[in-house]
Amino acid sequence: MIEEKNLKTFIKGTQNYFSSVTGATPEIGTPYEIDASQIHGDFTASIGISGSQRGCVYFTAKREMLEILLSQIGEISNDEELLSDIVGEIANTIAGNAREDLGSGFMISPPHLQNGRINLETLYQKESSFVIPIHWKGYACFVIISLDVMQLNN
Amino acid sequence: MKLLIVDDSVVIRRAIERTMKSQFFESIQTAQNGALALKIFKNSPIDVVTMDITMPEMDGLTCIESMIKIKPSTRILVITALADKGTAVEAVKRGAQGFLLKPFTEDDVNEALNDLLEDL
């Protein structure tokens, strides 16, 4: 089971990403246990976690939101490659930033990218994954934390 | 001076390239992983490198070590999401001179590059 204090690490990273990159602070909803009916996204990325923890960190978002995000960072194109790539970069940044609290033993893989909504059947932990809902500029997107056990190691 | 941007994210490569076009580099090349970066490095007179850490095929730390062995005067700025102090210490040990944490703004990259190159 993921501890509340460890979920806060990922919430902090999510807030920091959107605030730093876009200047607009996102609204973070109360995390909840995974519920397929509430998660929607056109592009999804997963980061494999190994070392001190095992599992995956996912980020998924709708096309419209990603197009605005790309524009905000000065990107003039919004083709499929860039839309897919930016969800990977967001997932990578949130997972990588978590090492500030979780330590160097929290090893992350390069992003695995997929078009379409997250496939709940392939979630690392089907039973105890947690969703962090994010609202940014009127759009919803989601960070999903799917880990075996989380313990602080520093 | 010639710049090489290394990152597996095309969005990040393009963002850094846009920022650096207003700087004084004669040429800017990009690579999506450490192995490709090293190949370019061996065949081009690169002076400055921005380097991601977590990449497929060859990670940034391994790539930094190889580049410094080939050309010790290379200036390398690590740009990574890995926020632990251990990563920064290891990057410096391998030969990087600068460290910038993702997420970053255009100003952050400019400032980090200026710091990296101020004594040249």
Q: Which of B59, B82, B99 to mutate to test the interface with A (most CBs of A within 10 A)?
A: B82
How many structural domains comprise chain B? 1
Query: pLDDT digit string (tens) for A19-38?
Result: 999 999 999 999 998 877 77
- ipTM score here? 0.93
- Alpha-helical regions (H) of chain A: 4-22, 63-72, 80-97, 99-102
Task: Give the phi and the psi of residue B91 in degrees, each rounded to 5.
Answer: -60, -40
- Residue-wise pLDDT tens for chain B (120 aa)? 999 999 999 999 999 999 988 778 999 999 999 999 999 999 999 999 999 999 999 999 999 999 999 999 999 999 999 999 999 999 999 999 999 999 999 999 999 999 999 877
Query: Is residue B93 within 8 angstroms of chain A, CB to CB?
Result: no
Q: Considering CB atoms only, which of B9, B82, B102 is closest to A85?
A: B9
Between strands A130-136 and B48-51, the pairing is: unpaired
Of chain A, the percentage scoring pLDDT greater than 70 comes to: 94
**How distant is the alpha carbon of residue A46 from its chain centre?**
8
CATH number, domain with residue B85: 3.40.50.2300
Determine phi and psi for A32, rounding to 5 degrees: -140, 160
Secondary structure of B85-111 as H, E, C letters: HHHHHHHHHHCCCEEEECCCCHHHHHH
What pLDDT, on a 0 to 100 scale, did the predictor assign at position A150?
47
**A74 with B103: Cβ contact below 8 A:** no
**Residues of B whose CB is below 8 A from A96:** 54, 80-83, 102
CB–CB contact B11 A73 (8 Å)? yes
**Residue A152: its pLDDT value, please?**
41
Architecture of the domain whose range is A4-147: 3-Layer(aba) Sandwich (3.40)
Decide which of A113 and A36 is more confident.
Answer: A113
- Best B9, B53, B100, B110 residue to mutate vs chain A (most A CBs within 10 Å): B9
Q: Chain A residue closest to B88 (CA)? A: A104
B63: domain range? Answer: 2-117
Q: Do A82 and B84 touch (CB under 8 A)?
A: no
